[in-house]
Amino acid sequence: MTIFKRTQNAFLLVLLAITCLTAAPAQVAPSLSDPIPVEREITIGRLSNGLRYYVRANKKPEKRAELRLVVKAGSVLEDDDQQGLAHFVEHMAFDGTAHFPKNEIIKFIESLGMRFGADLNAYTSFDETVYVLQVPTDKPEVIDKTLLVLEDWAHNVSFDTDQIDKERGVVMEEWRLRRGAGARTTDKLFPILLKGSRYADRIPIGKPEIIQNFKPDTLKKFYKDWYRPDLMAVIAVGDFDRGVVENLIKSHFGSIPAPTAPRPRPEYEVPEHEGTAYAIVTDKEITATSVSISNIVPARKQGTFGVYRQDIVDGLFSSMLSARMGPVSGRGGRSQSFHQPGKGRSPTERAGEGGRHRRGTGRALHRGGAGRSIWLHSHRTGSAAAKPAARLRTPGHRRPEPPVRQPGR
């Protein structure tokens, strides 16, 4: 075959490909304002009592599932005489329910070969309380019984008086363990970071004088007011049949009565302020010097392609800036870290999370050295007020759970 013939054939192939492409219907690129569609593999529903559920089949890892009960209630909803009781309710959920008295929930999990802490967990934050169970799915009845545990947490916690008194000591020991440099830093930073906000005096761990002396009815009142189906969601992800699990959720949670006169669920914000606030914190137990700057910026409403794109841009900017500055700032200790809005860990949540790591907002420079922390907090005039976005969460006496991608987030 001559060179001309080969060239001619190649040209014809390219022309044919172009013709096929132009003949095919063009896909319209989504607008940046368009919402990101929900995956087809996710089943989303809402029961008549208001409870929402999200179910996704996922075969990796095989024969495993994670189930969560998410309650839109945390420490910010506590009355003055309830400070620390959102977290205390979380503890009591493991100390007895209607179908699992005392520590039967832990025994059930251990009978499946799972571990308390690693596979059975919970945490309490400003705005939410989340319960987590990881279970095997090789036996159909396991998912059913696990959902019974979540159902009991939703409306059947026992609140036995003797168990309440025993748990006071557990929570107080947890409080004492956290009275280190982090807590002392928080005590100085919160009045500045959250000035004028309810969040400033609603730290999830609570106040010792309330934990030691509250009446059981005060604890039950918080549970009755805020543990209700219209403030709850059940999330199930794992190696199972979606339809079967959806029907089980309906069976377990559909009969929970909706409140006839529900207490309004308020939303709290951190108010705007003028100028720049700052704090200089020193403590003999702080082993590094850090400088952090935080800006309050308008919150982005998640869920559109445009916001997702901007999140990627912010992440790339942060990563590139950190990579360039790291070799310079790392000479004296830890490398420099720049965090985009909503992604960095501020002293606010570092101080109270007790081993769990959630991300906050800030720009931070860390160097090894004497114990001093400088935190600058500024505000852009005219920007929207912002909540701390539940960045600080208190885990109770549970170990950190592995992350799971939640539908709709």
Domain ranges of the chain: 42-253, 276-386
State the pLDDT confidence band at 251, using cuts at 50, 70 and 90.
Answer: very high
Cα–Cα distance for residue pair 387/197, rounded to 1 Å: 9
Report which of residues 200 and 332 the model is more confident about.
200
Q: Tell me the mean pLDDT in the region 16-27.
A: 51
Q: Per-residue pLDDT for 269 more than 90?
A: no
Classified as helix, coil or strand, 131 is strand
pLDDT of 91-108, one tens digit each? Answer: 999 999 999 999 899 999
Cα–Cα distance for residue pair 67/45, rounded to 1 Å: 16
- Residues designated as active site: 90, 167
Q: Which value, to the nearest 10 degrees, does the dihedral of the CA atoms of residues 392, 396, 397, 399 take?
A: -50
Q: Are 78 and 94 in contact (CB under 8 A)?
A: no
**pLDDT of the residue at 336:** 54
Based on the number of CB atoms within 10 Å of its own CB, is 110 exposed (0-12), middle (13-18) or buried (19 or more)? middle
The dihedral through the CA atoms of 393, 238, 147, 37 has a sign that is: positive
pLDDT of 168-197, one tens digit each? Answer: 999 999 999 888 888 888 888 888 888 889
- What's the gap between Cα 401 and its chain centre? 11
Report which of residues 71 and 138 the model is more confident about.
71
Proportion of the chain above pLDDT 70, given as a percent: 74
Q: Per-residue pLDDT for 375 more than 70?
A: no
What does CATH list as the number for 42-253? Answer: 3.30.830.10
Which H, E and C letters describe 13-47, residue by residue?
HHHHHHHHHHHCCCCCCCCCCCECCCCCCEEEEEC
Look up residue 303 and give its DSSP letter.
Answer: S
